[in-house]
């Protein structure tokens, strides 16, 4: 049930992302989806590619927004579009096909390549967490993102004390780390074959 | 364990910037001296970034739903109207905004060279201009009423919820239910490829024609292990006997044991061919062809959405 609101300007969008109101910012930024969809589909991609790309780009923008010194040329919407274009370019390059699409997309110069080049690498940690059990993920989220105290977390999970909670947290993190390293070495093996 | 716990705590405090100048200096000294500690720091930094990312994904999914349906909710009620709106939105998205739609798997429309048009006096090698390429495609399966139904595209708004250890089948969730990603199907891209044959008057033929042969390969060739998918070619040779049986399949030039076995398996499981003919009589004929395996995605492990 949304009341009609005027669109947020860039400063407001960034503020929303920094104050835990990212969903509002994302909803507005989703207006860029059609343009991204067109770009991807006219360069050898499918609708699902465009959707995936767009989600990744929002996650990237959110990450960038947390840096108080974050700056960009033009509008945030244009920045988002630029991220998407570079992400798609990187994917096409990884697949090693569609030379004309690649040439076409790389003809626009910007400095976003660094941001998007290693996206598949950057996602490995995410995937490590996705492979973790829900309990571990919940514990780590409460600790690192919600800044809950060990005592509070211990109570919620029914652990015997701070020490037990701390150990649990460490073990969960170690699990995540192991999965991450496995994904990392797999990623490196494959990319050396490309 | 105690020691590791303390180290982790140190690393976390360093990353959060809650160390004072002295502590920080001391810690940075340790980093240069202790590679293990440095590795822990790098990992922890990546992991914490990953945790933040995965935590923001639900907001992205919700924003997508709000973007799709948010405008309509206050004004309309009833599922049917929402469906119409969704259909309308989908149609709008499909309108001729896009200049042209290019499928991700390119099929080259090439008419096979009619073998009888090649002079029988060509004694060295006769080739059919097709190339067989194996690339990985993805299908999705949606769990509905306890059964899996295959769909071509990932349902919109799907977000990965779990990734099993084999790294090849993530589970996604949408607001409607569960979706699994299946990357085990292979696709064949058709561009010219030399299938070399012994010179015979009438070539042997796969049942249904050479187009059907490539369909068969498409349906049956698989990377032996998707988590270690390679780029490479296996050159196989085989004989089509006078009765159409496939025999003497062998590796002419291999890739590795697993891929060689896969190539032989596919050849060995082919149905009977129509035998070659010479002077009006069926004769055995030797064939040789490259089977190309490609891993176009580079990283075959599933994407996290």
Beta pairing, strands B246-253 & B232-240: antiparallel
Residue B105, min C-alpha distance to chain A (Å): 9
Q: Residue A158 belongs to what domain range?
A: 125-191
Closest CA to A37 of A48, A21, A26: A48
Q: What confidence tens digit (pLDDT) does each residue in A36-87 have?
A: 999 998 888 888 889 999 999 999 999 999 988 888 878 899 899 999 999 9
Distance CA(A130)–CA(B162), nearest Å, equals 5
How many structural domains is chain A composed of?
A: 2
Domain boundaries, chain B: 2-70, 106-137+187-305, 142-182
In a domain, A3, yes or no: no
Is B102 touching A (CB cutoff 8 A)? yes
**pLDDT given for residue B273 in this prediction:** 92
Beta pairing, strands B178-182 & B170-173: antiparallel
**pLDDT given for residue A83 in this prediction:** 93
Report ipTM (2 d.p.): 0.88
In 3-state terms, what secondary structure has residue B301? Answer: coil
Distance CA(B132)–CA(B193), nearest Å, equals 6
**pLDDT given for residue B71 in this prediction:** 57
> How much of chain B, in percent, has pLDDT values that exceed 90?
19
Which of A181-192 are b and which e, b meaning 16 or more Cβ less than 10 Å from the residue's Cβ? eebbebbeebee
In a domain, A5, yes or no: no
Tokens 């990985």 sit on residue: B136
Q: What confidence tens digit (pLDDT) does each residue in A159-173 have?
A: 888 888 999 999 999
Q: What confidence tens digit (pLDDT) does each residue in A3-26 have?
A: 556 888 888 999 999 998 999 999
Do A83 and A155 share a domain, yes or no?
no
Q: What is the mean pLDDT of residues B50-79?
A: 76
Do A33 and A84 share a domain, yes or no?
yes
50-69 of A, contacting B, C-beta below 8 A: 51-52, 55-56, 58-59, 62-63
Residue B12, min C-alpha distance to chain A (Å): 9
83-122 of A, contacting B, C-beta below 8 A: 94-97, 120, 122
Q: Write down which residue in A96, A117, A138 finishes a domain.
A: A117
User: Could you tell me the end-to-end alpha-carbon distance of chain B, in angstroms, rounded to an integer?
Assistant: 34
SS (H, E, C) B46-93: HHHHHHHHHHHHHHHHHHHHHHHHCCCCCCCCCHHHHHHHHHHHHHHH
**pLDDT given for residue A21 in this prediction:** 93
**pLDDT given for residue A142 in this prediction:** 92
Q: Write down which residue in A85, A117, A149 finishes a domain.
A: A117
Distance CA(A95)–CA(A151), nearest Å, equals 49
Is A55 in contact with B60 (CB distance < 8 Å)?
A: yes
In a domain, A2, yes or no: no
CATH number at residue A165: 1.10.10.10
The answer to whether the Cβ–Cβ distance between B51 and A33 falls below 8 Å is no
Side-chain-facing half-sphere of B90: CA atoms under 13 Å: 9
Residue A40, min C-alpha distance to chain B (Å): 9
> Which residue in A34, A97, A120 is closest to B299 by CB distance?
A120
Distance CA(B205)–CA(B208), nearest Å, equals 8
Closest CA to B215 of B262, B270, B170: B270
In a domain, A86, yes or no: yes
Distance CA(B198)–CA(B175), nearest Å, equals 58
Is B39 touching A (CB cutoff 8 A)? no
Distance CA(B68)–CA(A152), nearest Å, equals 38
């Amino acid at each position: 049930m949304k009341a009609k609101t005027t669109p947020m300007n860039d400063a407001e969008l960034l503020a929303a992302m920094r104050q835990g109101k990212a969903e509002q910012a994302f909803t507005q930024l989703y207006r860029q989806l059609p343009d991204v969809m067109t770009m991807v589909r006219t360069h050898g991609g499918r609708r699902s590619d465009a959707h995936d790309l767009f989600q990744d780009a929002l996650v990237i923008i959110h990450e960038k927004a947390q840096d108080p010194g974050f700056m960009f040329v033009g509008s945030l919407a244009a920045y988002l579009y630029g991220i998407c274009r570079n992400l798609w370019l990187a994917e096409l390059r990884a697949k090693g096909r569609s030379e004309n699409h690649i040439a076409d997309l790389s003809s626009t110069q910007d400095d976003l390549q660094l941001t998007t080049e290693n996206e598949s690498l950057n996602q490995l940690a995410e995937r490590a967490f996705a492979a973790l059990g829900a309990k571990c993920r919940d514990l780590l989220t409460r600790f690192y993102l919600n800044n809950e105290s060990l005592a509070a977390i211990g109570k919620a999970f029914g652990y015997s004390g701070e020490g037990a909670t701390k150990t649990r947290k460490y073990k969960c993190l170690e699990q995540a780390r192991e999965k991450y390293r496995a994904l990392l070495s797999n990623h490196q093996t494959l990319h050396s074959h490309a | 364990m105690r020691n590791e716990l303390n180290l982790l705590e140190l690393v976390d405090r360093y990353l959060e910037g809650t160390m004072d100048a002295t502590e920080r200096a001391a810690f940075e000294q340790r980093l240069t001296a202790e590679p293990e500690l440095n590795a822990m720091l790098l990992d922890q930094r990546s992991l914490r970034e990953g945790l933040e990312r995965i935590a923001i994904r639900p907001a992205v999914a919700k924003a997508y739903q709000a973007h799709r349906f948010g405008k309509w909710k206050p004004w309309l009620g009833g599922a049917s109207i929402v469906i119409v709106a969704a259909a309308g939105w989908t149609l709008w998205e499909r309108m001729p905004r896009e200049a042209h739609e290019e499928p991700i798997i390119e099929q080259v429309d090439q008419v096979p060279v009619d073998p009888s048009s090649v002079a029988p006096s060509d004694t060295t090698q006769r080739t059919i201009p097709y190339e067989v390429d194996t690339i990985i495609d993805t299908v999705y399966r949606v769990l509905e009423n306890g059964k899996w139904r295959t769909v071509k595209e990932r349902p919109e708004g799907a977000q990965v919820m779990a990734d099993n250890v084999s790294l090849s089948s993530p589970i996604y969730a949408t607001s409607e239910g569960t979706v699994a990603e299946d990357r085990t199907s292979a696709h064949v891209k058709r561009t010219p490829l030399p299938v070399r044959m012994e010179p015979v008057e009438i070539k042997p033929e796969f049942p249904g024609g050479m187009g059907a042969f490539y369909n068969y390969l498409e349906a049956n060739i698989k990377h032996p292990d998707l988590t270690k998918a390679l780029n490479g070619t296996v050159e196989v040779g085989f004989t089509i006997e006078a009765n159409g049986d496939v025999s003497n399949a062998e590796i002419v030039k291999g890739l590795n044991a697993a891929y060689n076995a896969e190539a032989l398996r596919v050849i060995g499981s082919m149905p009977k061919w129509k035998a070659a003919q010479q002077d009006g009589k069926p004769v055995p004929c030797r064939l040789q062809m490259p089977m190309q395996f490609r891993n176009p995605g580079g990283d075959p492990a599933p994407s996290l959405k």
